[in-house]
A and B are shown apart, each in its own frame.
Chain A
Amino acid sequence: MIARLAAALLTGPVLAAHPMHTSVTELTYAPSARSVSLTIRVFADDFIAAAGGGDSAAAAYIRPRVTLTDGEGRAIVLRWERREPAGDALLIRLRGDASTGLAGASLRHTLLCERFADQVNIVQVRYGGRSASLLFTPGDAAKQLP
């Protein structure tokens, strides 16, 4: 038994470093334009491994994973705007028309959750003088905006 334990300790897997599977999204609303903007900061290597390198593939990957519905349950279509490199991360910008505002709106954010069991997606919501955070982990359903 001691020999087996020793073998397991000496040859078993040991994580080399702390993995960091976290994205941070900023969600803002412009009342004058009645549009909602999302900026997703995600690690480039993880995202490209999941979504591929092209914009259309990335947009197709994000579409079912980041969804927003208005207070009456209608989908707010989030259009791909662009992506920008930011160090080892990517800034992905999405925009949608929210003519009825965000009162009662719900967001679901499962980016990379299918790949990493410890994925955490933080959403910082700022609109109408309100500021709050939402935290999404694998298996989470849509959450109502504050």
Chain B
Amino acid sequence: MSELLTYAQLGVRHILDPAALDHLLFLLVLAAAYRLGDWRDALWVISAFTIGHSITLGLAATDTLVLPGEAIEFLIPLTIVATGIENLAAGAGGPIGLGKVYRPALAAVFGLVHGAGFANYLRGLALDSIAIPLLGFNLGIEAGQLVVLAGSALALAALDRLTSHRVRVVGVSAIVLVLAARMAVQRIPWQQ
């Protein structure tokens, strides 16, 4: 198997790993605000997130940018909490228009945090040469992300048949928010 494919496989496994609940929860809460018909808006947000995490993954994995791992692991669930709060505000009749404008920017910033988390994993492997593993790992992350988003979109569409869209947005966001908040509390750096 080529090196690129090996690390792409590693990237897919990393994002689909149930133990990697933080990234899965972030993608779910990001998708939770949308209906299938809103795919264009969702695409902007997902693209922004992808650009964000690709930037820090590249910079941190090559040691161009050195970020404290514990702080990043703490910030990741906070990005989930913030996205959940934004969903709740929008779902409760809050500033949805504002969300539409700022959501891609927010997703890009949060992507920077998640990318640093991905980089922590890749750096942990202490590889001699990073270029091909980095490219493969990032491609794998993207592929895994698409799988998670497709699965989330179908599950959320199924929920929309059972209840109103607003109830679904609020319900899913609230559940994810609570899980992420607990995750953040467990990861507070100065407690460790």
Contacts and interface: CB of A to CB of B under 8 A. Distances in A.
A45 interface: no
Given A9-B175, A86-B126, A120-B10, A15 B21 contact: yes
A47 B168 CA distance: 45
Interface string A106-119: 00000000000010
A24 B127 contact: yes
B125 A131 contact: no
B131 interface: no
Contacts, number: 69
A87 B178 CA distance: 35
B179 interface: yes
Interface of B: 1-3, 5-7, 9-10, 13, 17, 19-22, 73, 117, 120-121, 124-127, 175, 178-179, 182-183, 186-187
Contacts of B2: 132-133
Interface residues of A, number: 26
B22 to A, nearest CB: 7
B117 A18 contact: yes
Contacts of A118: 13, 17, 19
